[in-house]
Amino acid sequence: MTNRKKSLGIYLLMSAAAVAIAFPVLWMFIMSVKPTDELYQFPPTIWPDKWEFGNYTKALFEAGIDNGLINSLILAVGTLALSVTLSFPAAYALAKYEFKGKTILLLAILATQLIPGMAAIVPLFDILQRMHLVNTYTGLILIYTARTLPLNIWILKGFFQSIPNELIESSMVDGSSKIASLYRVALPLALPGIGAAAMFTFMQTWIDFILPLTMLFNEDKFPFSVMLYKFVGDPIMGTNYGVLFAAAALGTIPTLLIFALLQRFFVQGLTAGGVKG
């Protein structure tokens, strides 16, 4: 088989895989613009006979998904700011300084990712209750920060290790302090890693369902993911699948935008964190 045929085969295989992965998302958008009677039609139509954008209006202004999106944004941005800010100096210290117990500390940070999320819900609820942070965004942001911090440290550590020490040392020779060198030299060079960590943190927080369902009690505080669940099986109106698909599509857009903007950094971050010691 020639190289050209091999390349064509790989291209077709990758195209088929991309279509298979994207199909559920495309189907969700198609279902969100179908009229109600067409949603229940059998056999189902692949392309809508009539486009119905009223589902988006109902989802935003009648079902209140706009409030859920704002709540999700508060949680995601708050977690992103806290997690990236804390992981930045920790990753720099682990990448650039040698100290006793460093390897054990790195393994311990990584080992926290092995704890199943479901196993930690009851202890976390008890801790938040003692701190009077149940049913608050602050409590959830602290939990999300603790959950995303280990991987962010590893991602940024890989980037800091790729920065030559000579650059930082030359900055210190010119009169900069260690902290000034960190922010003037290391920070700009580590921006791809920060982008990767930011993307990972945003996506992990945006799609979470179990923690806000467990820790929040007031419906006006529910994020987008929990509000979608509340749309299913309404005891009075039943499930309005058109509005449900429209709300799901609206909630997918921010994640797609973040991924489109930062996907290059995300791949670099995973690669750097995986190959650096």
Give the model confidence (pLDDT) of 16-61 as tens digits: 888 888 888 888 888 888 887 887 787 888 888 888 888 888 888 8
Asked if pLDDT for residue 273 goes beyond 70, the answer is no
pLDDT grade for 10, boundaries at 50, 70 and 90: confident
Which range has the top average pLDDT, 2-6, 56-60, 128-132?
Answer: 128-132
> With contact defined as beta carbons under 8 Å apart, do 239 and 233 qualify?
yes
Asked if pLDDT for residue 230 goes beyond 80, the answer is no
Q: What is the mean pLDDT of residues 204-228?
A: 90
pLDDT in the model for residue 271? 57
117-121, 166-170, 217-221, 234-238: least confident range: 234-238
pLDDT in the model for residue 136? 93
Alpha helices (runs of H) in 131-240, residue ranges in sequence order:
137-161, 165-173, 178-181, 187-189, 191-206, 210-215, 224-231
Asked if pLDDT for residue 238 goes beyond 50, the answer is yes
pLDDT grade for 186, boundaries at 50, 70 and 90: confident
> With contact defined as beta carbons under 8 Å apart, do 204 and 152 qualify?
no
pTM above 0.85, yes or no: no
pLDDT in the model for residue 277? 42
25-39, 66-80, 175-189, 217-231: least confident range: 175-189
Which range has the top average pLDDT, 27-41, 86-100, 237-251?
Answer: 86-100
Report, in this order, helix, strand and coil percent for the chain, each rounded to 5. 80, 0, 20
pLDDT in the model for residue 83? 94
> With contact defined as beta carbons under 8 Å apart, do 62 and 69 qualify?
no
Asked if pLDDT for residue 150 goes beyond 70, the answer is yes
Structure tokens at 211: 């923690």
Asked if pLDDT for residue 117 goes beyond 80, the answer is no
Topology (CATH level 3) of domain 59-274: MetI-like fold (1.10.3720)
Q: Which of 53, 12, 32, 17 is CA-nearest to residue 251? A: 32
> With contact defined as beta carbons under 8 Å apart, do 252 and 139 qualify?
no
Residues belonging to the chain: 277
Return the domain boundaries, the chain.
59-274
pLDDT in the model for residue 275? 47
- State percent of the chain over pLDDT 90: 24
> What average pLDDT does the structure give for the chain?
84
> With contact defined as beta carbons under 8 Å apart, do 153 and 234 qualify?
no
* Cα(200)–Cα(214) distance, integer angstroms: 23
